[in-house]
Each structure stands twice: as C-alpha cells, then as structure tokens.
C-alpha cells in the first residue's frame, strides 16, 4: 500500500529498537559490533533450524501439533545458543579486562556489562524483526495489500509488525536478564528467560485458530510488558546495590 505504508510498517516493528540504537548503542562502537555479531548469530541459528526443518516443509496439515513441535525445537535451540553466547561473552570479558589493565584504564563497569547485554539482546530483537517482518514487506511498498484468512481484521503486514515489535522487546530485555542471572547464579532469572521465550512462542500458536489473533496478540504484549518490568526491577536493584557499595 504505497511507500508510506511500507515505511510505516517497518518503523512500527523497529521503532523502539531504532531509538534504543540511536540513543545508547551508536555512541559506543564496541556495542555496534556486539549488535552486528549477535544479529549474525541469530541468523545462523535460523539457517540451521530451517536446514533441519526443510525436509518437512511446507507443512500441509492443519493440525496444530506439527507447528507446536516446530516452535518448541526452535525455541529450545535458540535458548541453548544463549548459553553458548554467555560463555563466549565471559571469555570476551576477561580479554577486555586484561586489555584495560594493560592500558591502565578501569575495568568494565557494571553499566558497561549491562550495555553489552542490551546490545546483544537488541541484536536478537532486530534480527527477529528484520527476518520475520521486514523481509516480507516488499509487496507492501506496492499498490495493494494482503490479508490472512485466519485473522482478517487487519492487513497481514500490520499484524506481523505488531508481533515483531513484541518479540523485539522480549528478546532485547531477556538477554539482559539472562546475563545477569548467569553472572549472579540466580536460578529464577536463569529460568525466567527460556520460559518467557517458550510461552511467547506457544502463544503465537493461538494465531492458527480462526480469529485467534485477537486473543493471542494482547497476551503476547502482556509477556513483553512482564519481561520489561522484570528487567527494569532487576536493573534498578543492581544499580542501587552497586551505588551503595561504592
């Protein structure tokens, strides 16, 4: 539906990520590099998943459980990858600290570590939005639009942008929670992230039912808000503790 609509859909999915990028990430070059690498990692995970599932696609059944298995396997794989990312990050942190000692600058502050986690999460969120929403937006720049039968109240592009926004929020902030959980060895936080991811993925299964998206999308946003608030509380607590101990 014209260029304006296309750009609108793109900004809907990526708006908050863009403002996060401009205000926080673009100031520090290392964070931009972190963002690019985590986007790449997400893309690679997606390619691996699609390689595994290629033989079974396109799924011709209308039953929901093959899709359920698809979502479960994908989320499981990506959460496993998150642990790998954490290990790599630990090694990187040691290297950075050693480097900081060599140039006689202070070691990484707490805010630095959180910013790196934020950049990594934002990379995941941006990758999700780009590959699940933006790459399909090309027809939206033309004169027509497209509706899906299961959810015919809104154009398909609008729905996918809204879902992509919710997932971008979830991905961005769950990485911060996860990194903090692995560092503090906090079980609750460590388990919070995979569970939220899984629940969010399963919630999209509701969209398979006719008219399901009216229920599914608000629930998805509830999960996103939950992640956001949990992350905010945790960050606030850690920063005040840090402040007090200094």
Q: Which residues bind another protein (CB under 8 A)?
A: 27-33, 36-37, 39-40, 43, 46-47, 49-51, 53-54, 57-59, 67, 70-71, 74-75, 78, 96, 99-100, 102-106, 108-109, 112, 115-116, 128, 130-138, 148, 150-151, 156, 159-160, 163-164, 167, 197, 200-201, 204-205, 207-208, 213, 216
Min dist CB 209 to another protein, Å, is 11
Min dist CB 182 to another protein, Å, is 20
d(CA 162, CA 228): 16
Q: What is the DSSP letter of 25?
A: G
d(CA 108, CA 71): 37
**What Å distances lie between residue 135 and 5, 36, 157, 211, 220, CA to CA?**
15, 17, 11, 25, 22
d(CA 171, CA 85): 14
| Beta carbon nearer to another protein, 91 or 106 | 106
| Beta carbon nearer to another protein, 30 or 221 | 30
d(CA 116, CA 128): 19
Min dist CB 1 to another protein, Å, is 17
Min dist CB 70 to another protein, Å, is 7
């Amino acid at each position: 539906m014209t260029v304006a609509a296309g750009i609108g859909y793109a900004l809907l999915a990526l708006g908050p990520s863009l403002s996060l990028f401009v205000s926080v990430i673009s100031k520090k070059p290392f964070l931009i590099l972190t963002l690019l690498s985590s986007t790449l990692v997400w893309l690679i995970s997606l390619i691996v998943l699609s390689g595994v599932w290629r033989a079974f696609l396109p799924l011709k059944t209308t039953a929901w459980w093959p899709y359920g298995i698809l979502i479960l396997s994908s989320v499981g794989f990506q959460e496993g990858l998150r642990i790998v990312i954490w290990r790599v990050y630990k090694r990187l942190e040691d290297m950075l600290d050693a480097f900081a000692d060599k140039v006689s600058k202070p070691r990484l502050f707490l805010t630095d570590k959180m910013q790196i986690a934020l950049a990594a999460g934002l990379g995941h969120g941006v990758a999700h939005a780009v590959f699940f929403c933006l790459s399909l937006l090309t027809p939206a720049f033309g004169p027509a639009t497209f509706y899906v039968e299961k959810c015919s109240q809104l154009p398909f592009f609008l729905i996918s942008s809204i879902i992509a926004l919710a997932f971008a929020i979830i991905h961005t902030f769950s990485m911060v929670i996860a990194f903090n959980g692995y560092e503090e060895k906090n079980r609750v936080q460590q388990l919070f992230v995979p569970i939220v991811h899984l629940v969010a993925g399963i919630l999209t299964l509701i969209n398979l039912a006719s008219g399901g998206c009216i229920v599914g999308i608000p629930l998805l946003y509830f999960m996103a808000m939950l992640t956001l608030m949990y992350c905010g509380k945790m960050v606030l607590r850690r920063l005040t503790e840090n402040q007090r101990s200094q």
